[in-house]
Amino acid sequence: MNIPQTSFPRVVVIGGGFAGLAAVKGLRKKELQVVLIDKHNYHTFQPLLYQVATGGLEPDSIAFPLRKTINNLENYFFRLADVNKVLPEKNMIETSIGNLEYDYLIIATGSKTNFFGNKNIERHVMEMKSVPQSLNIRSLIIENFEEALLTNDLEERKALMNFVIVGGGPTGVELAGALAEMKKGILPKDYPDLDIRQMQINLIQGADKLLDAMSSKSSEKAEHFLVKLGVNVWKNIHVTDYDGKYVTTNSEETFEASTVIWAAGVQGDTIDGLQPECTIERACRFKVNEFNQVVGYDNIYAIGDVALMQTKDYERGHPMMAQPAIQQGKLAAKNILALLHGKKQKAFVYNDKGSMATIGRNKAVVDLPNWKFQGFFAWFVWMFVHLFSLIGFRNKAVVFMNWVYNYIRFDRETRLIIRPFKNKNKYSFRNNDQ
Amino acid sequence: MNIPQTSFPRVVVIGGGFAGLAAVKGLRKKELQVVLIDKHNYHTFQPLLYQVATGGLEPDSIAFPLRKTINNLENYFFRLADVNKVLPEKNMIETSIGNLEYDYLIIATGSKTNFFGNKNIERHVMEMKSVPQSLNIRSLIIENFEEALLTNDLEERKALMNFVIVGGGPTGVELAGALAEMKKGILPKDYPDLDIRQMQINLIQGADKLLDAMSSKSSEKAEHFLVKLGVNVWKNIHVTDYDGKYVTTNSEETFEASTVIWAAGVQGDTIDGLQPECTIERACRFKVNEFNQVVGYDNIYAIGDVALMQTKDYERGHPMMAQPAIQQGKLAAKNILALLHGKKQKAFVYNDKGSMATIGRNKAVVDLPNWKFQGFFAWFVWMFVHLFSLIGFRNKAVVFMNWVYNYIRFDRETRLIIRPFKNKNKYSFRNNDQ
């Protein structure tokens, strides 16, 4: 991998998401060598992927080149690689570009889609965990409408215009809202020769409320906003299968739909090599102690979505979202520095800053620890929190400009198909992360 | 294709480039049915593709959704399709989504890369005629540097950092300048562990001067600016072969390079079906009369790059660039309307507004009919002409913002690899327009 051996201890960080970047930042300008490894050369701001998928934002504006985060830092290295395995007995990782020894390892590989073992679903649905996947959804939506124009078979046309979103968490809710806005503002103008009323947006939730990690008031309001936008909300229903044409559920309800987007669950994106019987628990996350050390290993930390830290308040681990990841990343960096200086580590305490979700063009629901509110003002708060969380001035500016433009013009202009055409090789690009 | 038959004559326009869009615009709100067909769902502002290829702009900002150009127009249709053949005896075209009859046909299919029959070159070089191709170049540049980091073989590393651009027209010159700016401003910061001096940019021109359609003064200045930026300019040399590793030429000079970008020539992107013996001439363009009617056909027009109109002043046809295309598109629309109203057609007279090319971050050369100037002010003129030629307010604003940011910060942030990795399947994505 051509990383020079220095007299400083080497910390290897796998993954440049929220957790990994926070850790790298905390290890800046210390007497350390830091190596950041990621399979992409950019950080993805995942909370806005749904806007890329629905044509509101260009992909470059929610991504940030990882090399820029280590510009001008001595003894900092970035490598673009897939990590295949950890060899803890050798303090070494195996990657697609060779092996690398570490003194400390921080695993911040995040999460991947959880299909709960259903291969048929995995093969036919769309995922939305990465920039390329979001671009695939964007292309598919447009291609479906182009195809719907051409058919005179009413059933086929309805299936092409039927969008099923599985999972009523923030991702599903935000995506459903964005699709509903497309149906209202954009598609009727773009497709005057189609009856856009035939477009259906079905949001299927297994639990008895949407956004079930949020307050009842926010759940209810979110559902209310979505229904007003024309989304069909289905609760207490589990999708059992999808063959590329029909969605079957554990109820009598079935759906004929060309596009099914799976936002029903995530699991830790773990790496092989650590003793699975003791370390991988619930939803495939590495079990860690209160310092984020992987159980059984003193010099291996797991942080963010891939880590499962069970505490009194969080018996099933912390929520798999940005805030716990950032906070664990910061603390893991501090704890490694503490160990190096012979000091004591500090236990992680999650500072819950709240959660939020947006619905459509000007509504949101926000749960702060001491204040829960919904509607237009919540949307305003949502917008500024997301804008200021984006990394990089250019990204903030481009996103802001697009939002202002889209808001004023009821429009979204980034609706180019730059991914493979569906009709050339129908399923070739699904679940393909390139 | 589900286009309704109306009592109005149907004009079919193939291609939504500069020429096709100008024609469609000229046919607006007339007693006509207009069908625009393109293989992409967006218009591409080709003059700025080189900035997408070098990470200065996001692809969405130089493209415009074609459906937006016909929003709110009655009896206007857009179809996403490949046109395979014209059947002039039936007044019909064959496309990937079915056949369509026309009363008038406007062929505005533009141009494609000309490899002059060399299959080996075609297989191994990169093209830059479309958004996906430009994204491929962007990915390849970054992947080469990531790979160069990993090798200890000096020859291999040099080849990975050797960029050969074949063709010294505006495309080659602008691309060489942009790469040279990357070498100066961005790559040393991103790759502190690489010796960026080993990066070579070779610009190979067959003629005895760069930009040979421009004035001698502009050619000389362009070369001077490039050499000052560190580009190796080779003149009077023809590339004869490239096997993926070695570029051979008709001189003793050879180059070992991982990346060869072919900007050496274009040819008309013609469609089958018209009598080739009478209609396709030089560089595969349809021979047209002074009204842009394809020779031998009264109701088929060809405009822009794909049309060859030989006049006293332009014996080899008009230059294959935006201005003649726009002007011919406008006139073809007027001439069709004239025919429909039993009036006389007007002959095309090219109004040469001049040409320009930019070199690096703040130099350009501009040839106006009565004024030729080069340097910083020329760059300023170049910038504003391009900004105001972009279609759409959002595009203008995003491009402007990126330019200001990049200029002030000596930076380019849109350098994500969102196309297939080279090392996964080495040449799989080359010359693949998807």
Q: Which of A41, A61, A397 sits opposite B58 (nearest CB)?
A: A61
Question: Inter-chain contact A41–B416, Cβ cutoff 8 Å?
Answer: yes
Say yes or no to pLDDT of B427 above 60: no
State how far residue B378 is from chain A, nearest Cα, in angstroms.
Answer: 26
State how far residue B392 is from chain A, nearest Cα, in angstroms.
Answer: 9
How do residues B117-149 score in pLDDT, each as one tens digit? 999 999 999 999 999 899 999 999 999 999 999
CB-facing half-sphere around the CA of B300: CA atoms within 13 A:
25
Chain A residue numbers with beta carbons less than 8 Å from the beta carbon of B421 are 434
Per-residue pLDDT of chain A (434 residues; tens, 9 = 90+): 899 999 999 999 999 999 999 999 999 888 999 999 999 999 999 999 999 999 888 888 899 999 988 877 888 999 999 999 999 999 999 999 999 999 999 999 999 999 999 999 999 999 999 998 999 999 999 999 999 999 999 999 999 999 999 999 999 999 999 999 999 988 998 998 899 999 999 999 999 999 999 999 999 999 999 999 999 999 999 999 999 999 999 999 999 999 999 999 999 999 999 987 677 777 889 999 999 999 999 999 999 999 999 999 999 999 999 999 999 999 999 999 999 999 999 999 999 999 999 999 899 999 999 999 999 999 999 999 998 888 888 788 888 888 887 777 777 766 777 665 443 333 334 444 43
Residue A107: alpha-carbon gap to chain centroid: 17
Closest residue of chain B to A194, computed from CA coordinates: B2
Output the CA–CA distances (angstroms, integers) from residue A266 to A84, A204, A211, B305, in the order listed: 20, 16, 15, 50
Ranges of H-type helices in A151-234: 154-160, 170-181, 187-190, 216-228
Tell me how long chain A is.
Answer: 434
DSSP symbol at B32? S
**CB atoms closer than 10 angstroms to residue A362:** 15
Question: Inter-chain contact B413–A420, Cβ cutoff 8 Å?
Answer: no
Give me the domains of chain A, ranges plus CATH numbers.
10-39+81-113+267-340 (3.50.50.60), 119-263+354-424 (3.50.50.100)
Residue B410's SS3 state is coil
**Helix-helix angle A216-228:A170-181, to 10 degrees:** 20
Closest residue of chain B to A82, computed from CA coordinates: B424
How do residues B275-332 score in pLDDT, each as one tens digit? 876 677 778 899 999 999 999 999 999 999 999 999 999 999 999 999 999 999 999 9
Instruction: Select from B49, B57, B398 the residue whose CB has the most chain A CBs within 10 Å, as the one to mutate to test that interface.
Output: B398
Q: How far is Cα A87 from Cα A103, in angstroms, rounded to an integer?
A: 12
State how far residue B129 is from chain A, nearest Cα, in angstroms.
Answer: 14
State how far residue A344 is from chain B, nearest Cα, in angstroms.
Answer: 35
Question: Inter-chain contact B71–A190, Cβ cutoff 8 Å?
Answer: yes
Are A168 and A203 in contact by the 8 Å Cβ rule? The answer is yes
User: What number of helices (H) and strands (E) belong to chain B?
Assistant: 13, 25
